[in-house]
Amino acid sequence: MAEYKYAESHEYIRLEGDVGVVGISKYAQEQLGDVVFVELPETGKVFSKGDEAAVVESVKAASEVYAPVSGEIVEANGELESNPGLVNEDPEAKAWFFKIKLSDKGELDGLMDADAYDKFVEEQG
- What confidence score (pLDDT) does residue 117 get? 98
DSSP string, 5-33: EE-TTSEEEEEETTEEEEEE-HHHHHHH-
Contact 23, 91 (CB under 8 A): yes
Identify the domain containing residue 13 by its residue range: 4-124
CA 57 vs CA 33, 38, 40: distances in Å: 9, 6, 12
CATH number at residue 85: 2.40.50.100
With bands split at pLDDT 50, 70 and 90, how would you rate the model's confidence at 124?
A: confident
> Chain-wide mean pLDDT for the chain?
95
- Max CA-CA distance within the chain? 38
- What confidence score (pLDDT) does residue 1 get? 47
Q: How far apart are CA 107 and CA 88, in angstroms?
A: 28
- Residue pLDDT, tens place only, 4-55: 999 999 999 999 999 999 999 999 999 999 999 999 999 999 999 999 999 9
Number of domains, the chain: 1
Contact 30, 91 (CB under 8 A): no
Work out the angle at residue 79's Cα, subtended by the Cα atoms of residues 10 and 5, and round it to the nearest 5 degrees. 25
- What confidence score (pLDDT) does residue 2 get? 64
- What confidence score (pLDDT) does residue 91 get? 95
